[in-house]
Chains A and B, each alone.
Chain A
Amino acid sequence: MDIAQIATIAGKEFWDRIRNRWVLAVALVFTAFALVIAYFGAAQQGAVGFRSIDVTIASLVSLVIYLIPLIALILGFDAIVGERERGSLDLLLSMPITRVELLLGKYFGLAAALTFSTVAGFGLVAVVLSAQLELDALFHYFGFMLSSVLLGCAFLSLAVMLSVFASDRTRASGLAIAMWFFFVLVFDLLLLGALVVSGGELGGRLGSELFPYLLLLNPADVFRILNIFSLEDVRALYGLATVFPPNLAHPALLGAVMFAWIALPLGIAAWRFRK
């Protein structure tokens, strides 16, 4: 594996996104949403202004869980199939670079752009709020930022996998949208449905033993649990989180699951792309 080749591809992907202002646009979106949520999150209760980091993070989690997977899928769905369709893939592969190096370069470059915009967007809010935050609250906020980056990287990995399997960009975009619907909207509904349908005899077993593990099959749920379990005040508000055993909710363990969600689709993509 030649790291220099990976870095060359990654550098181009990253600077492309900087240059076309993709990073700036996404960072501004994150900043705007985070500020609005931080200051106006409690407007329904008749109060305006920053209240607590727990409430802010809980609101941001609800937003990020929709937004980041969508942005990551849009960012990565044509990473390989786009090059193939444009006709530039052959020229790239005629260089002294392996297919795996090309794939990793693409992934790391896009992941760097997504990470940069996430950290810059939410980080700016942390700077703005820092005067009003305790060190402990800042720690939680940085945890939220880190988990947001991991969530983005996991969905980006899925997107890059799609881009290897899809025969054209149209199909890849369709698959990306379907994937977003499945993980962000449908998966939890299916689980809840399964809980309700099997509520009689299976409910106890499904609820107490199987259910937490099924949640790990969705990176969006792993992200939600990672954040919700770190906040005492918010944990009780989330129905799904209450069925999750605390011993399974260790940040290191959930972080490892997130890394698995990054590595597995990328590994499948590399295997398919090498063939």
Chain B
Amino acid sequence: MADNSPTPTDSEDAVIVARGVRKHYGAIHAVDGVDLDVRSGELFGLIGHNGAGKSTMFKMMLGLIPATAGEIRIDGAVVGGGNFRAVRRSVGYLPENVVLYDNLTGLETLQFFARLKAAPLADCPPALERVGLAHAAKRRVREYSKGMRQRLGFAQALLGKPRILFLDEPTTGLDPEAIRGFYAILRQLKSEGVTMVITSHILAEIQERVDRLAIMAAGKVQASGTVQALREQMDLPLWFSVHVASEDFDAVRSALGHLPVIAIEARDDHVAVQCRRESKMAVIEALAGLDGRVRDLTVREPSLEDVFFGFSD
């Protein structure tokens, strides 16, 4: 099984390392002993319910709030330590609710942040172009829609060619086309070796895109690893949709009768079969023996949402 331990060991190529990180507000344990490794060049998802501790973890990784205990290292520098300032120049951050300055134009906004990051001002127009805002460069931010502000926030995060990106609910307010464009940029960044940590409540959106993820609940990492590894760890059943003529429903039941399937349900135009992963090939072989009566077959793996609820509940 792949890396799915809640307490990972040090990975040589990890650029973000958290060990025993806690954040307590009095009796409230917002983050309670988190260990994390995010490897160089990977797209890492951090998911959890509201209040699970994701945002607090994000803020500690960015050095916005100090940890009560434990240590976080970004690119080798201890967060909050003497060398962290230099590392910050190579870090981009897109907050969940990005708030920019209404009185500045899009271009001026980027120029302001470019100065703070010591990035060349010449990088600002290409950054606007990259997020599809070149046409609105000279418009005041107060005239921007929510989606445009989000894209401008993303452009800001891309300034200075960051090696590490923290993206907190980055697709909030974006339309489907913009979301597709956003993930296209992430793919490009990944190919350039940029390490990215992303949070999202839209699990379907990230399940096929992240390399690995961590599921947080009650301030702890309940599980981490690839989506497939977490599926296997949860051992959630699979669903088959077997499309046959209605008069063949009983033949399907009979073919699968000797197998340890969990459920067989006749539906309008298909038979739904639920079984354990280890029975998957046996089910397929049994259906193949139905002499062409199976018109179509689809297999639905447990979604990230299924996995998430399995771990977080």
Residues of A within 8 A of B156 (CB): 91
Do the beta carbons of B64 and A95 come within 8 Å of each other?
no
Q: Does A188 contact B (CB under 8 A)?
A: no
Is the Cβ of A94 less than 8 Å from the Cβ of B93? Answer: yes
Per-residue 0/1 for B99-123: is the Cβ within 8 Å of any A Cβ (1 yes, 0 no)?
1110100000000110111100000
B73: CB under 8 A from chain A?
Answer: no
Flag if A88 contacts B103 (CB, 8 Å): no
- Measured CB to CB, the closest approach of chain B to A233, in angstroms, equals 47
Which residues of A are found within 8 Å of B85, using beta-carbon distances? 96, 98
Q: Are B64 and A93 in contact (CB under 8 A)?
A: yes
Give 18 A-B pairs besides A20-B103, A90-B62, A93-B63 with Cβ atoms closer than 8 angstroms. Answer: A4-B115, A5-B116, A8-B112, A8-B115, A9-B116, A16-B101, A19-B103, A87-B97, A90-B95, A93-B64, A94-B91, A94-B93, A95-B113, A96-B86, A96-B88, A96-B89, A96-B117, A97-B116
What 0/1 pattern do residues 1 to 36 of A give for CB contact below 8 A with B?
A: 000110011001000100110000000000000000
User: Closest B-chain residue to A2, C-beta based?
Assistant: B85
- Structural contact, B88 and A91, CB atoms closer than 8 A: no
B contacts, CB < 8 Å to A: 59, 62-64, 85-86, 88-89, 91, 93, 95, 97-101, 103, 112-113, 115-118, 153, 156, 166
Q: Which residues of B contact A4 (CB under 8 A)?
A: 115, 118
Q: Cβ of B97: which chain A residues have Cβ within 8 Å of it?
A: 87
Query: Cβ of B101: which chain A residues have Cβ within 8 Å of it?
Result: 12, 16, 88
Tell me, in angstroms, the Cα distance from A86 to B103 when the chains sit together: 14
Identify A95's interface contact among B86, B117, B166, CB under 8 A.
B117
Question: A87 → chain B, closest Cβ, in Å?
Answer: 4
Q: List 23 A-B contacts (CB under 8 A).
A: A4-B115, A4-B118, A8-B112, A16-B103, A86-B99, A87-B95, A88-B99, A88-B100, A90-B62, A90-B95, A91-B99, A93-B63, A93-B64, A94-B64, A94-B93, A95-B88, A95-B113, A95-B116, A96-B86, A96-B88, A96-B89, A96-B118, A97-B116
Chain A interface main SS type: helix
Q: Considering the chains assembled together, what is the distance between the CA atoms of A8 and B62 in angstroms?
A: 21
> How far, in whole Å, are A9 and B115 apart by their CA atoms in the complex?
9
Instruction: Report the nearest B residue to A88, measured CB to CB.
Output: B99
- Are B116 and A8 in touch, CB under 8 angstroms? yes
Contacts of B88 in A (CB 8 A): 94-96
Residue in A5, A12, A19, A95 whose Cβ sees the most chain B Cβ within 10 Å: A95
Closest to B116 in A: A95
Contact of B59 with A90 in the complex, beta carbons under 8 Å: yes
A87/B116 in contact, CB under 8 A: no
> Which residues from chain A contact B99 at a C-beta distance below 8 Å?
86-88, 91
State in angstroms the CA–CA spacing of A96 and B83 once bound together.
11
Q: Give B115's nearest chain A residue, CB to CB.
A: A8
Q: How distant is A245 from chain B, measured CB to nearest CB, in Å?
A: 49
CB nearest neighbor in A for B97: A87
Q: Per-residue 0/1 for A74-109: is the Cβ within 8 Å of any B Cβ (1 yes, 0 no)?
A: 000000000000111011111111100000000000
Q: How far is the CA of A98 from the CA of B84 in the complex (A)?
A: 11
Shortest Cβ distance from B94 into A: residue: A91
